[in-house]
Amino acid sequence: MSFGSRLKNLRLQNKMTQQMLGDVIHVSKVSISGYENGNRFPDTSTLQQIADFFQVTTDYLLDRKVPSELLSEDFAKDIEIELKSLLKIVSEQDYPIFHGRPLDCHTKELITQSFKFDLLLLEKMTAKRR
């Protein structure tokens, strides 16, 4: 989706006219129309004002993926190692200890399923990156 389309959608979702948005960010209605139609593009200061007003990021407005929002491969691998280690501890011990108390069978099973689900979710998240 283009910047103009995103801007128009945000403006309409907030029930604003082009004039109203222009007044808020201190540009003319003609400028807003130009942004929405793809004939003009705001300077960085105006782009930031738009993002701030609609409480979105400039990356969202520009339809960019933000690398920091995605798991780095090294970080994902570290999480995987930790989850597998915890899963092994919980599943291999008859009565694993948590906060000084042994876990009952039901709680042990819930924790085991939770770790397995977390591993599956991690796999799906990192697969999207590839």
Is pLDDT at 125 greater than 80 in this prediction? no
What mean pLDDT is predicted for residues 4-23? 94
Beta-strand (E) ranges in the chain? 97-98, 101-102
Task: Provide the pLDDT confidence category of residue 130 given band limits of 50, 70 and 90.
Answer: low
98 secondary structure, DSSP code: E
- 129, 117 contact by CB (below 8 A): no
pLDDT higher than 70, residue 69: no
**What pairs with residue 102 in β-bridges?**
97
Q: What's the CATH number for 3-61? A: 1.10.260.40
